[in-house]
Amino acid sequence: MAGTKEIKRRIKSIRNTKKITKAMELVAASKMKKAVSSTLASRLYAEYSWEILTSISENLEGLEHPLFSEREIKNILVVLITSNRGLCGAYNAQVIKKVLSILKDRRPEHQSAKINFITVGRKGDIAMRRIGQEVAATFDFADNITIQKILPLSKMLLQEYTSGSYDRVFVAYTDFISAISQKPRVKQVLPVSREKLKELIESLENLGKEDSQPHVRHVGKIEYLFEGDKHELLGSLAEKLTRMQIYQMLLESNASEQSARMMAMKNASDASGEMIEDLTLVFNKARQANITREISEISAGMASVS
């Protein structure tokens, strides 16, 4: 058994660590509140946007626009969204593991395609470079994400796809479900297709059932009257909606990161408290053993004198 001085030193060290993790938990909780508020607020806008595009997508036949064109899959671009810092539990590991599983078990049509990555966050960049994957670009966003800040990323994706450099664009991110639940996902954002729109609406419906947030409304088919070039309007709308989709994914990932970090720091604080209790018990036993031994030595000394 360690001496009382050593145990006291360990208790003091763990207590100091608990103060740090508790402070980080409070900071993460504050950031999570803001991130979740922004995420939920933008979901309503994304919902109405998807409803409009879904309604008018009924007349996509004959539409000639690069964002709607299906090409032979030769090059794939994957945007991987992770955090810049650690101490957020399994947040980074889950989305990276999701991407690695897709790389390992590709669809038949993706087997011969070359895959490049754009990383958002240093953790994903480090992970991809470590396994030898080519990283075309790296972006770094602060916690307060705005639509203006993500314009360089969205413009780059749209330009790379419309120019023909890539035939598919996917985004790997983490959906915010609740403070204790986040789900990694990989979604195709380009090209825009009716099938993918339906899949997205269904996923949002399932997400609404999981977190009890009714952010998907069911509406009937709406007939729209177009003034001007319908093809140009739909192309412009698809660009803006793709940009909004990327923005929403970044918000979801940010809310998930802050939630994961808050829970990780809370678990660390709770574990520190349990360790302090256990070491305090060991310290009291060691001190009692020392006191008993000293009394025994005193008693033995008095007996020998007498």
pLDDT tens digits for range 135-194: 889 998 877 888 888 889 999 998 898 888 898 899 999 989 888 889 999 988 888 765
Structural domain includes residue 140: yes
Give the pLDDT confidence score for residue 213 in this predicted structure: 44
Asked if residue 196 belongs to a domain, the reply is yes
Highest mean pLDDT among 134-143, 214-223, 226-235, 274-283: 274-283
What is the overall mean pLDDT for the chain? 80
38 backbone dihedrals φ, ψ, rounded to 5°: -65, -40
Residues whose CB falls within 8 Å of the CB of residue 232, separated by 6 or more in sequence, listed in order: none
The fraction of the chain above a pLDDT of 90, given in percent, is 29
Contact 97, 128 (CB under 8 A): no
Which residues, other chains included, contact 61 with Cβ-Cβ below 8 Å and sequence gap of 6+? none
Q: Is residue 301 part of a domain?
A: no
Which strands form 114-120's sheet, in the order they lie side by side? 135-139, 114-120, 75-81, 168-178, 181-190
Question: Tell me, what's the pLDDT at 21?
Answer: 92
How confident is residue 118, by pLDDT bands cut at 50, 70 and 90?
Answer: very high
Distance CA 147, CA 191 (A): 21
Q: Output b/e per residue, 294-306; b: 16+ Cβ within 10 A.
A: eeeeeeeeeeeee
The residues that bridge with 116 in the sheet, in sequence order, are 77
Q: Bridge partners of 168?
A: 76
Distance CA 196, CA 149 (A): 26
14, part of any domain: no
Collapsing DSSP to helix, strand or coil, 128 comes out as helix
Radius of gyration of the chain (CA): 28
CATH of the domain at 147: 3.40.1380.10
Q: Please count the structural domains in the chain.
A: 1
Q: Which of 9-13, 17-21, 38-42, 87-91 has the lowest mean pLDDT?
A: 38-42
Which value, to the nearest 10 degrees, does the dihedral of the CA atoms of residues 223, 226, 232, 233 take? Answer: -60
Residue 7 falls within a domain, yes or no?
no
> Does 281 map to a domain?
no
- pTM score of the predicted model: 0.78
pLDDT digits (tens, 9 = 90+) for 177-188: 888 889 999 988
Residue 201, pLDDT score: 46
Residue written as token pair 């916690």: 143
**Confidence label for 207 from pLDDT (cuts 50, 70 and 90):** very low
Q: Which residue has the tokens 């803001």?
A: 34
Domain that holds residue 243: 28-260
Burial class of residue 92 in the structure, from the number of CB atoms within 10 Å of its CB (0-12 exposed, 13-18 middle, 19+ buried): buried
pLDDT 10s digits, 20-73: 999 999 998 888 888 888 888 887 776 676 666 656 555 555 556 677 777 888
**Domain presence at residue 293:** no
- Asked if 282 and 6 touch (Cβ cutoff 8 Å), the reply is no
Structural domain contains residue 144: yes
